[in-house]
């Protein structure tokens, strides 16, 4: 990109619910007034269920100060002792700093039944206003007059973990490393809270957004339902989340208009609904919720019947950016085979993926598969020696290094050793179990926190497919592009993925209008060429949606037919999209 490049990348995309902000309470004073107006005289229970990571004490302080309840009951007081919670989770969590077994815990397992009974008796005796608050408040109260759900964005939870301002569920582990807090949250806390959340979302009276502690916002459950329904019927974007990394680059700073005082940006989670947020717009007010709520509440409309039948309320397609422009190589890595991830970690499917090149310099490259006739035993020994600090691992001795150019597409089915080299800008298209990366060599560097990044060489060596050597990789994984169809001002190409992967990708080049259809399944697209394009409904089913260069957007299954054409600055100029969807036919 030139120095004169002007970014049009939208970092805060909104799903419009209302042109008026009147239905949104902003600030504690307005929030409390809305609650007071909804409380019945006499005995009444306000139940504030909190997602793990909320600042429960701060929320309680504000509500108690204004509402002056007769009694306050805290779910946190009903948890088992820390030692019991640690013992409960020990087998699934193990002692690995990154990986664990996906848990099936329910929140009642974390609660002390005697403490619950004690506080429920207090609740029964109360004659005035009672506030019940915390993660598990609904289990303590059982019945309530008003249900407020305080939700929390995953990106904000991670920032609070890094700042040591929150703990894990039922623990007092402020000083634990952020990585360990994240691991426990990913495998335990969020699974437990999401199971409860799914049952509560249809019942809530108010949704409370405290992602910005100094600017809380609240909407009614009806407005939340309206916003989610709107999103499920139209193309939309989730809120991208940018993060630095030890190999991070500089491309996204310019293209996505990011702060220049940050050392680098390595990742952008541009479509990972479990991690990303969804912004609901009420006039000039934006209410932030986890975007996975949309999948929880509208799986049929968003995913489609066949995808929902296969994946349940999980969003199976992930788009993210890996920026190594003026940065470093990614770690040399491999993803687990399906049977391995099922047996060792309790995941239903694995992280097959691909690298689509948005940009690369002449130095850009991708390491992928092995050279012919390498000595496996020697490579294994070299990896172990590098892990022990004896000598750097010579990746070029064993691994294919392919030149990477803009619009190249490299397919990476699980079990394939790989990494992106420096001076490449990758759009990673993959399945969603996104933390299951077995690093085998990290080029001798430290993480952003100054400590060595975890290496999982044993896991990696158990999953490497040694027969994926140069001829096979060149034939099956590098630019396996096939013409599919063409029309007036457009052509369609199949760019992958490999037959072992459940995701199909199609690239469309166009100067005119391109007909698309969801064919009953969710589509995820990125504008990989052109300044902007517009997505329209042939029948006026949804308002025109404008996508800018490098923006990822989701087209729910319920949309059906849609058209994409160049827009604005790109009218009459070549544009291209890459589209991913789940294969539903054998």
pLDDT at 447: 79
Residue 568's SS3 state is helix
Domain boundaries, the chain: 20-215, 242-476, 482-582
pLDDT at 1: 60
Helix (H) or strand (E) holding 301: helix 299-303
User: What are phi and psi for residue 306, nearest 5 degrees?
Assistant: -65, -40
Radius of gyration, alpha carbons of the chain: 25
pLDDT at 434: 67
Residue in this structure with the two tokens 């042939």, named with its chain if needed: 538
**CA 62 to CA 184: how far, in whole Å?**
29
Q: How wide is the angle at C-alpha 278 spanned by C-alphas 277 and 281, nearest 5°?
A: 140
Q: Which fold has domain 20-215?
A: Rossmann fold (3.40.50)
Q: Which two tokens stand for residue 104?
A: 């099936």
Asked if 580 and 319 count as a contact pair (C-beta separation under 8 A), the reply is: yes
pLDDT at 2: 56
**CA 21 to CA 23: how far, in whole Å?**
5
| Nearest C-alpha neighbor of 584 from the set 500, 524, 504 | 504
Helix (H) or strand (E) holding 496: strand 490-496
What are the residue ranges of helices labelled H in 185-220?
A: 190-200
| Nearest C-alpha neighbor of 199 from the set 290, 153, 138, 143 | 138
Asked if 170 and 56 count as a contact pair (C-beta separation under 8 A), the reply is: no
CATH 2.60.120.10 fits 482-582, yes or no: yes
Which residues are 288's β-sheet partners? 279
DSSP percent split of the chain into helix, strand, coil, nearest 5: 30, 30, 40
Residue 410's SS3 state is strand
555 CB-near residues (< 8 Å, 6+ apart): 235, 516, 518, 522, 523, 524, 525, 535, 562
| Sign of the C-alpha dihedral computed for residues 237, 238, 244 and 245 taken in this order | negative
What are the residue ranges of helices labelled H in 4-136?
A: 28-38, 56-67, 82-93, 113-125
| Residue 185 DSSP label | I
| Nearest C-alpha neighbor of 290 from the set 209, 383, 223, 410 | 209
Residue 167's SS3 state is coil
Q: What is the 3-state secondary structure (H, E, C) of 440-462?
A: EECCCCECCCCCECCCCHHHHHH
**CA 420 to CA 401: how far, in whole Å?**
9
**CA 426 to CA 550: how far, in whole Å?**
11
User: What are phi and psi for residue 384, nearest 5 degrees?
Assistant: -65, -40
CATH number of 242-476: 2.60.120.10
Compute CA distances 26 → 95, 221, 422, 564, whole Å: 43, 16, 45, 37
Residue 18: how many CB atoms within 10 A of its CB?
18
**CA 179 to CA 120: how far, in whole Å?**
36
Distinct helix (H) and strand (E) counts, the chain: 18, 31
Judge if 242-476 and 482-582 fold alike in CATH terms.
Answer: yes
**CA 75 to CA 194: how far, in whole Å?**
17
What are the residue ranges of helices labelled H in 317-456?
A: 338-345, 376-387, 395-398
Average pLDDT along the chain, 586 residues, taken 10 residues at a time: 81 96 95 95 95 98 97 98 97 95 96 97 96 98 97 96 97 96 97 98 98 97 98 98 95 96 95 95 97 98 97 95 97 96 93 95 97 97 93 96 98 96 97 86 86 90 97 96 96 86 95 98 98 97 98 98 97 97 80
Compute CA distances 125 → 63, 116, 120, 141, 402, whole Å: 21, 14, 9, 13, 72
Asked if 422 and 363 count as a contact pair (C-beta separation under 8 A), the reply is: yes
pTM summary value? 0.96
């Amino acid at each position: 990109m030139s120095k004169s490049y002007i970014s049009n990348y939208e970092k805060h995309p909104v799903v419009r619910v209302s042109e008026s902000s009147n239905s949104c309470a902003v600030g504690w004073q307005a929030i409390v007034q809305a609650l007071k107006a909804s409380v019945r005289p006499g005995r009444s229970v306000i139940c504030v269920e909190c997602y793990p990571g909320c600042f429960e004490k701060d929320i309680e302080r504000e509500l108690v100060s204004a509402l002056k309840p007769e009694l306050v009951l805290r779910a946190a007081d009903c948890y088992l002792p820390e030692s019991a919670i640690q013992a409960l989770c020990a087998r699934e969590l193990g002692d690995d700093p990154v990986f664990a077994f996906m848990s099936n815990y329910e929140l009642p397992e974390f609660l002390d039944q005697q403490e619950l009974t004690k506080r429920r008796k207090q609740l029964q005796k109360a004659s005035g206003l009672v506030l019940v608050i915390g993660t598990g408040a609904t289990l303590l109260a059982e019945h309530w007059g008003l249900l407020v759900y305080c939700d929390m964005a995953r990106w904000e939870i991670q920032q609070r973990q890094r700042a040591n301002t929150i703990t894990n569920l039922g623990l007092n582990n402020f000083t634990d490393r952020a990585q360990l807090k994240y691991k426990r949250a990913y495998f335990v806390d969020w699974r437990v809270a999401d199971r409860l959340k799914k049952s509560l979302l249809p019942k809530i009276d108010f949704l409370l957004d405290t992602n910005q502690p100094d600017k809380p916002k609240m909407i009614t459950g009806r407005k939340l339902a309206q916003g989610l329904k709107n999103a499920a019927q139209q193309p939309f974007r989730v809120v991208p989340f940018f993060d630095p990394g030890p190999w991070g680059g500089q491309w996204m700073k310019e293209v996505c208009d990011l702060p220049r005082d940050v050392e680098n940006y390595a990742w952008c989670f541009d479509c990972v609904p479990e991690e990303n947020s969804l912004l609901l717009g009420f006039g000039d007010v934006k209410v932030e919720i986890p975007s996975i709520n949309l999948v929880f509440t509208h799986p049929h409309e968003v995913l489609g019947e066949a995808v929902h039948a296969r994946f349940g309320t999980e969003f199976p397609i992930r788009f993210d950016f890996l920026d190594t422009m003026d940065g470093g190589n990614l770690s040399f890595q491999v993803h687990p085979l399906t049977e391995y991830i099922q047996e060792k970690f309790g995941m239903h499917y694995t992280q097959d993926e691909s690298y689509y090149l948005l940009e690369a310099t002449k130095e850009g490259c991708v390491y992928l598969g092995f050279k012919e006739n390498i000595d496996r035993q020697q490579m294994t020994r070299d990896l172990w020696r590098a892990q022990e600090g004896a000598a750097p691992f010579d990746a070029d001795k064993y691994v294919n290094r392919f030149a990477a150019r803009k619009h190249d597409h490299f397919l990476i089915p699980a079990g394939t050793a790989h990494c992106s080299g420096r001076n490449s800008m990758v759009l990673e298209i993959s399945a969603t179990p996104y933390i299951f990366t077995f690093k085998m060599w990290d080029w001798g560097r430290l993480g952003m926190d100054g400590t060595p990044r975890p290496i999982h060489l044993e896991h990696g060596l158990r999953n490497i497919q040694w027969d994926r050597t140069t001829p096979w990789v060149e034939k099956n994984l590098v630019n396996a592009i096939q013409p599919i169809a063409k029309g007036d001002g457009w052509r369609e190409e199949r760019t992958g993925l490999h037959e072992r992967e459940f995701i199909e990708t199609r690239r469309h080049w166009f100067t005119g209008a391109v007909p698309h259809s969801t064919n009953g399944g969710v589509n995820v697209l990125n504008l990989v060429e052109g300044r902007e394009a517009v997505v329209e409904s042939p029948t006026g089913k949804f308002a025109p949606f404008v996508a800018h260069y490098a923006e990822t957007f989701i087209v729910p299954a319920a949309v059906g037919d849609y058209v994409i054409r160049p827009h604005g600055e790109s009218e009459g100029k070549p544009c291209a999209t890459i589209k991913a969807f789940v294969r539903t036919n054998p």
